Amino acid sequence: MVRAVEHIVAWNQRVTAGEPPSTWPADDCASSLPLVALTCIDPRLNVHFPNVLGLREEQFIWLRNAGNIIFGTTSSMTRSIALACAVKGGREIAVIGHTDCGVRKTTMNDLIDRFRELGIARDQLPDDLRSFFGLFASERENVIRGVDFVRRSPLIGAAVPVHGLLVDVASGRLEWVVNGYEGWSGVVPQPLPEPPSAPALPTVPQPAIYQTPDWSGNVLRRPPR
């Protein structure tokens, strides 16, 4: 099996080092695509994706949130990643952080001040701002944590490798932080058998209906005795 992220990282590092891009990874690893990638909402990333991966738009499923944060094994973002694989056919997953991330540089006091500027008082915000907004101190550690949640999610099958990458917003160079192929067999597990269907209930015959006129000439509908 051709491993997509292996080709992508090698290609990216050659190109960002100055080598002309003669071929794209997509030409070599199409069978392992599309790639499902979670990145930050930072606008500086708009010019980088999917270019730094060497992929065409149809080979790249792009999910984004502030800080490329995943909150748990069954959080809303994990659900989106799972559906991207199950419904859109994603073959590999990458949580991609970036250097100079604004979420990493934002303190709780900064956050309170910025919400206040929007007319939102402190008592309208959650008590634990750090946990609620997912503030973090290291872009790399945030990527590792996100990969761990996705790897342990019951919504993601063992057949899908999960990687962690970090992109330099200035150069577009990728760093492979978590190699999703380590400990990954690539074997697709057999689907669980369908549960046996319940036996059909016996059909109860319905009584026949016949008609008899009453004294006024109206028709009555009575079951037989």
Q: What is the pLDDT of residues 161-186, one digit of tens each?
A: 999 999 999 999 999 999 999 987 66
Contact 7, 25 (CB under 8 A): yes
pLDDT per position as a tens digit, 36-50: 999 999 999 999 999
Element (H, E) at 86: helix 76-86
CA angle 122, 125, 128 (to 5 degrees): 105
Q: Tell me what pLDDT residue 90 has.
A: 97
Both structure tokens of 167: 């992109």
Query: Mean pLDDT of successive 10-residue segments in the chain (225 residues)?
Result: 88 92 79 96 96 92 96 96 97 97 87 94 90 88 97 94 97 97 69 58 56 50 52
Is 26 part of a structural domain of the chain? yes
How many domains, in total, are found in the chain?
Answer: 1
Is 74 part of a structural domain of the chain? yes
pLDDT per position as a tens digit, 13-33: 999 999 887 777 777 888 899
Half-sphere exposure for 202 (CA within 13 Å, toward CB): 3
Sign of the CA dihedral 168, 172, 175, 178?
A: positive
The range of the structural domain enclosing residue 128 comes to 4-178
Best CA proximity match to 166, nearest among 149, 179, 156: 179
> What CATH number is associated with residue 167?
3.40.1050.10
Is 207 part of a structural domain of the chain? no
Is 195 part of a structural domain of the chain? no
Q: Tell me what pLDDT residue 124 has.
A: 94
Is 192 part of a structural domain of the chain? no
Is 203 part of a structural domain of the chain? no
Q: Who contacts 36 (Cβ-Cβ below 8 Å, separation ≥6)? A: 61, 63, 81, 84, 85, 88, 90, 92, 93, 94
Scanning the structure block, which residue is given the tokens 């992109």? Answer: 167
Is 191 part of a structural domain of the chain? no
Is 209 part of a structural domain of the chain? no
pTM over 0.85: no
